[in-house]
Amino acid sequence: MCRRLMAFAVSILMAVLFFVPQQVLAAPDITVDAEAGIGNKVKSGEGMPVQITFSNAGSAFSGDVVLSYAESYRLGTGLAIPVELAAGESKTIQFASNGISDNYFPGGQSRQSIFLYEGGWENGTSIDFNGTKNFRPSFFAPDSVVIATLTANSDRLLQLEEMNVGNSGTTEIYHLNQQEEFPLPADPLAWEMIDYLVIDEYAYSDLPDALQQTILQWVQQGGKVMFGATGNVAAEAGNLNEFLPLSLGESVEADLPSLESTVPAYEAAAVGESNILLGQEEAILAASQPVGAGAVIQTSFSLGDEMVTAQQGYTETMESLFHTDAVVQNMYQDLSSKEMIADEMAAVNELFESFAVSQTLIIAIIFVYILLVVPVLYTVLKRKDKREYAWIAIPAIAVLTSIGLFVIGAKDRITNPQIQQTGFFEVTADQGLNGYYMNSLLSNRGGDYEFTAPSSTTMTHRFSTDFTEESPHQSAMLEKQATQTNLTIRDMKYWSVSSVLGESLIDQAGSFDIQLEVTDQTLTGTIQNNFPFAVEGMAVWTGTRQLALGSLNPGETIEVSEAIRSDVLAPPASVGQSFGFQPIADTEELEEARKQMVLSVSYEHLAANGASPYLIAYTRDAIVPVALEGQNASVSSLHLITQSFDPPLTGTGEVTLPVESFDMELTPENLASHYQNISQDPYYFYLDNGGYRLTYTLPQVLQEKTSNWEELTVALERSNASVSILNTETGEFEELSGTGALFEKQADQYVSSEGGIELSLQMNAGSGSPEIVLPKVELKGVISHD
């Protein structure tokens, strides 16, 4: 019988093998070749292009390629890109990614960062593949300047490679349209690692409209484009034509600073609110026009003409045009704005009001419980002679009390998830808002939560713990659509907190109409709120002071008359407040902590952007276009709005300028020297041994006045540095000693025509302390109208 059954089974198997059509047992056999950045070089934490080539020697593949990356040890996510591969097909795709870092957790670049999911990342299967499984890019120096070009001939711009721009003096040049197999990125995020785009003898207008729009959005978010002069630059500038700062006329010969001979140029007239960078009003050589948070720069001479580039001094002339925002060398100098938010702001933003439970109420409930259980329950049961019911009554009352306590503590957490949205934004030149935000989510259930945002708003995820061993794509996943981005926080626990943060450009948001001036140490004028939302806590931030002005509804105007106890308004100084390690007792303290934290974090961003005072205010509107999909969340928003302004100085006569009134810049003579502001005191520094130049520059409003400086005081504190000051008449440095020096009558000799006071520091700590309080200056004089 067994033999018959075995024979029957074999017969069935043979029939299946030979007579039934069989599906080919095959699988995708994919090889991946991936490269990040430009020439496989990236800036740590900055957005970048990613290019991946797939070669499929197996069956068809349909699914996602997932890039799992970390921007720092606190920030990271996965990025899922749909991929369709036919059998035997090869394909190259390019997309943009948030920046990557090589120091975020143990394993670094050796950990796998590229994955393939057949059937998609949500419900599909991770499959093995050959080739590149993790990125190994080279990293630029953090303060290097990356210049991309679009040029007809890269040889025309070879001299740019000789420039020393930025604190490190490192300049990286990439001729994008000369790169082999490198299409220009179509996502503004991919351009984030680029500081400048130089366009020389190239028809930018021939680029596809979508690509021109990408570059414009990059400029609005902080990028800078420089156009060299051509006979038809207005037509060649495409969608940037309306932002050109110059109107060019007839051909002329022009004198460029540092060049021996004249060069071919064009007559030029400034357009709109453009700023002259080189030359004078009657002979403009270069100018810039602000566009959002960025700028368009234009020269009246060719950038690559041999008659210009072949002359000695060309490099120095060009260095003056590639002005980089001052790098604030402080204790946060190695952190990007997003890292600072993740490091500092989260300590407060991830605390929710619903965490607080009234101690008085809890004590009252416990007191009532004890009162009921002991004397009341005992008396009632004794009178009714039902004391045996105590075995039921006591546990029942305990359960009811516990349920009551739970309801009191959880009533705000059960129905809906909660979001605290905090950020800081600066008003741009075209009345937009550009800044950073953090969305902290308190879940009301376990599972996935999805956020959506437009393409002008980036999103990344804050790890729940530092130096996590979990791959970033396991905690959050980013997906890009045509007009929006989705970020899914994966597998959140019940009543847990997770944060999403990023940068956002809010177009045409509005601005403050600031009409303020300084007269006799009094700030007077009006401020109108042209935003569509109300603001509160409005103040002028100058130095360490904040002149409180109150609240304003949309369209309202306020009259200002405030004594400022100085002749000019200084730029903001650090508020020096942190709530990261301080207990917060109640909701009022939480509200104040959120305000102070966002103010403190914003300073590091604002201090790098200029030397003007700021008008600041808070709004409670949820202005960041980030939404939680599929659920109605309770949202608590608090955003700091900032706008710089330069109030004219209408008075004349004697003025006194304390050190806070000056813009300060410290640069090392040796670019390898390390220097760092190591406290909330902006003048307290760590300095390596070596030479440094310390320059104090007058406020712009005073540089435009006729002045006679009568007294200069330089205050020194005991240190291991020798200090000298530049005499602009002799060109020599004069050594200072003791506690400082007082220059009377001849004070003008130490103030340059550009409004600068230059000091030389020679640090030689030896066995002593490398820490120093920088020399401080005070200037007195008389000013008059031009």
Model confidence pLDDT, tens digit, residues 178-220: 888 889 999 999 999 999 999 999 999 999 999 999 999 999 9
Cα torsion through 213, 602, 164, 285, rounded to 10: 60
β-bridge mates for residue 393, sequence order = none
Whether 557 has a pLDDT exceeding 90, the answer reads: yes
- Say yes or no to pLDDT of 388 above 90: no
**Residues 525-537: what's their mean pLDDT?**
96
* Chain CA centroid to CA 568, Å: 29
Q: What are phi and psi of 236, to 5 degrees?
A: -80, -15
- Provide the pLDDT for residue 738: 84
pLDDT of 439 reads 95
- Two tokens at 169? 């003096």
Closest by Cα among 117, 101, 107, 91 to 37: 101
Residues 285, 281: Cα–Cα separation, whole Å? 9
On the question of pLDDT at 394 being above 80, the answer is no
Using an 8 Å Cβ cutoff, are 480 and 454 in contact? no
Beta bridge partners of residue 655, listed in sequence order: 781
Which tokens is 24 given? 């080919």
Residue type, 356: A
Examine the pLDDT at 579 and tell me if it is beyond 50: no
| Residue 598: closest CA among 353, 425, 354 | 425
Residue whose token pair is 């357009």: 271
| Residue with the two structure tokens 């039902």 | 386
Cβ atoms of 322 and 314 closer than 8 Å: no
Lowest mean pLDDT among 23-32, 80-89, 415-424, 577-586: 577-586
pLDDT at residue 322 is higher than 80: yes
Question: 770 is written with which tokens?
Answer: 């490398």
Give me the pLDDT at residue 170, please.
Answer: 76
Quickly count: other Cβ atoms within 10 Å of residue 184's Cβ: 18
pLDDT at position 181, please?
80
Q: To the nearest whole percent, how much of the chain has pLDDT over 70?
A: 86
Three-class SS of residue 371?
helix
The burial of 282, by beta-carbon neighbours within 10 Å (0-12 exposed, 13-18 middle, 19 or more buried), is given as exposed
Is 122's pLDDT higher than 70? yes
CB neighbours of 359 closer than 8 A, spacing ≥ 6?
Answer: none
- The closest alpha carbon to 390, from 405, 372, 402, belongs to 372
DSSP bridge partners of 514: 527
Backbone angles phi, psi at 748, to 5 degrees: -60, -25
Residue 22 predicted with pLDDT over 50: no
Computed over every residue of the chain, the mean pLDDT equals 84
What is the phi-psi region of residue 565: left when phi exceeds 0, alpha when psi lies from -120 to 50, beta otherwise? Answer: left
Find which of 102-111, 151-160, 338-347, 548-557 is predicted with most confidence, using mean pLDDT: 548-557
**Poorest-pLDDT segment among 142-151, 230-239, 605-614, 622-631:** 605-614
Which residue has tokens 């879940």?
443
Q: Which two tokens stand for residue 20?
A: 């039934």
Q: How confident is the model at residue 366 (pLDDT cuts 50, 70, 90)?
A: confident
Q: Is the confidence at residue 325, as pLDDT, over 60? A: no
More confident residue, 414 or 639: 639
Task: Tell me if 150 sits within 8 A of 176, measured CB to CB.
Answer: yes
- Type of residue at 21: P
Question: What is the per-residue pLDDT for 250?
Answer: 92
Return the closest-CA partner of residue 148 out of 182, 173, 170. Answer: 173
Rounded to the nearest 10 degrees, the angle between the axes of helix 390-414 and helix 359-371 is 160
Pairing mode of beta strands 196-200, 171-175: unpaired
Q: What was the pLDDT predicted at 429? A: 86
**107 or 422, greater pLDDT:** 422
User: What pLDDT, on the 0 to 100 scale, is given for residue 227?
Assistant: 95
Q: Assign 15 a pLDDT band (cuts: 50, 70, 90).
A: low
How much is the CA Rg of the chain, to the nearest whole Å?
32
Count of beta carbons in the 10 Å neighbourhood of residue 685: 25
Answer yes or no: is pLDDT of 765 > 80: no
N residues, the chain: 786
Confidence grade of residue 18 (pLDDT, cut at 50, 70, 90)? very low
The pLDDT of residue 678: 78
The answer to whether 334 and 282 are in contact (CB under 8 A) is no
For residue 496, the tally of other CB atoms under 10 A from its CB is 13
Nearest C-alpha neighbor of 342 from the set 573, 580, 575, 678: 580
Average pLDDT over residues 16-45: 73
What is the model's pLDDT at position 785? 62
Neighbours of 601 (CB within 10 A): 23
Q: How far is CA 365 from the centre of its chain?
A: 48
pLDDT of residue 343: 81
Per-residue pLDDT at 781 exceeds 70:
yes
What is the 8-class DSSP label of residue 324? P
Q: What number of CA atoms fall less than 13 Å from residue 10's CA on the CB side? A: 6
pLDDT value for 413:
66
- Higher-scoring residue by pLDDT: 281, 529: 529
**What are the φ/ψ torsions at residue 390 (nearest 5 degrees)?**
-60, -30
Question: What is the structure's pLDDT at 423?
Answer: 94
> Contact 460/77 with Cβ under 8 angstroms?
yes
Q: Is the pLDDT of residue 167 over 60?
A: no
pLDDT digits (tens, 9 = 90+) for 240-271: 999 999 999 999 998 888 888 888 999 999 99
Which residues sit opposite 783 in a β-bridge?
653, 707
pLDDT value of residue 255: 87
Choose among 459, 492, 458, 486: nearest CA to 474. Answer: 492
Structure tokens at 686: 């760590």
Going 738 to 740 to 745 to 749, the CA torsion angle's sign is positive
Tell me: the pLDDT tens digits for 602-660?
887 776 666 789 999 999 999 999 999 988 888 999 999 999 998 887 767 788 888 88
Residue 23 has pLDDT above 50, yes or no: no
Tokens of 119: 């059937």
Give the per-residue pLDDT at 608.
63
Residues whose CB falls within 8 Å of the CB of residue 695, separated by 6 or more in sequence, listed in order? 664, 665, 666, 667, 756, 757, 758, 759
